[in-house]
Structure 1
């Protein structure tokens, strides 16, 4: 079953954790010095916040799936929607290991579809082959090319990755 995902950049992580803990009537499932995540069942939501120096507000939206097959199906739907789809495999982001597809909607809102494979000990990895910008593990989709255009590397923007 899919789970809706929202990632916000926040200016004060502690104040935001207190606010969302009260709003959701539950503590975060993951709490780090720069990141917190709630895995809610009602509504079925993966809600994450981070304080990594980015402008506060919505960083990206997404859909979390339970299998690689579901991720592949969502990737086909993203491709059919007409945006550039940037795949990431075995990436470390937000204290998790995941396979992902990124795109932007017509308004420029970043969308992440992902299948979480396990936990990670860092917010992001230093892997220069990933498709992320390093600040909040979200890509600059407009500056990247799909995997097929990069000879197997997942993105063309390898310089300031993760």
Structure 2
């Protein structure tokens, strides 16, 4: 069974946790200093928020699958829609290790399909081009390898949407 994934970048994590906990009438299943996630059954959604220097608002959408077979099925569907599906295997992303595929819808909204393999203690993989300060702060890993932002992200923004379409070193939320 698949689960819708929504990731929103927020200005204030504590206020947002309070708001969404009230809206969903449950506390998050994961809380970190810069991230929270609710794994809801009603509606069946993986809803995540983060405060990592990205533009506030919708970060990306996704479909979380429960098996490698479902992920392969989704990869076939996406490949029929777009020839440039971005594949990531065993990537560290949002305190989880996952296999995933990325595409953009016709409006440029990034969609990921992913199969979570394990939970991990870090937000994402370090960017090999990060400065020592960025690496120490854990803010250098970017999230969306194919995103086509409709707004210009400043060059010093630590995450999430890269200004190029393809990324050879990416990690995500």
| TM-score, normalising length: structure 2 | 0.78
Q: Count residues with an aligned counterpart.
A: 144
Matched, 1:138 2:149: no
Is this contact kept in 1: 2:100–2:112, CA < 8 A?
A: yes
Superposition deviation, residue 107 in structure 1: 0.3
Q: In the alignment, what sits opposite 1:157?
A: 168
Instruction: Give the whole-Å Cα distance in 1 for the aligned partners of 2:112 and 2:15.
Output: 26
Matched, 1:60 2:66: no
CA 1:126–1:17: 2 relative to 1, 3 Å:
same
Superposition deviation, residue 140 in structure 1: 3.2
Superposition deviation, residue 134 in structure 1: 2.0
Is this contact kept in 1: 2:90–2:99, CA < 8 A?
A: yes
- TM superposition outliers: structure 1 runs of 4+ over 6 Å: none
Superposition deviation, residue 157 in structure 1: 3.0
3-state SS, counterpart of residue 90 of structure 2: strand
Is this contact kept in 1: 2:34–2:52, CA < 8 A?
A: yes
Q: In the alignment, what sits opposite 2:157?
A: none
CA RMSD of aligned residues (A): 1.6
Superposition deviation, residue 66 in structure 1: 0.4
Q: In the alignment, what sits opposite 2:95?
A: 95
Q: How do 1:32-43 and structure 2 match up within 5 A? A: 32-43=32-43
Is this contact kept in 2: 1:98–1:118, CA < 8 A?
A: yes
Instruction: Give the whole-Å Cα distance in 2 for the aligned partners of 1:77 and 1:127.
Output: 30
Superposition deviation, residue 110 in structure 1: 0.1
3-state SS, counterpart of residue 72 of structure 2: helix
Superposition deviation, residue 84 in structure 1: 2.0
Superposition deviation, residue 125 in structure 1: 1.4
Is this contact kept in 1: 2:67–2:115, CA < 8 A?
A: yes
Query: What do residues 65-111 of structure 1 show as CA deviations (whole Å, max 9, x unaligned)?
Result: 00011101101101111252100000010000100000101100000
Unaligned runs of 5+ in 1: 145-155
Is this contact kept in 2: 1:83–1:104, CA < 8 A?
A: no
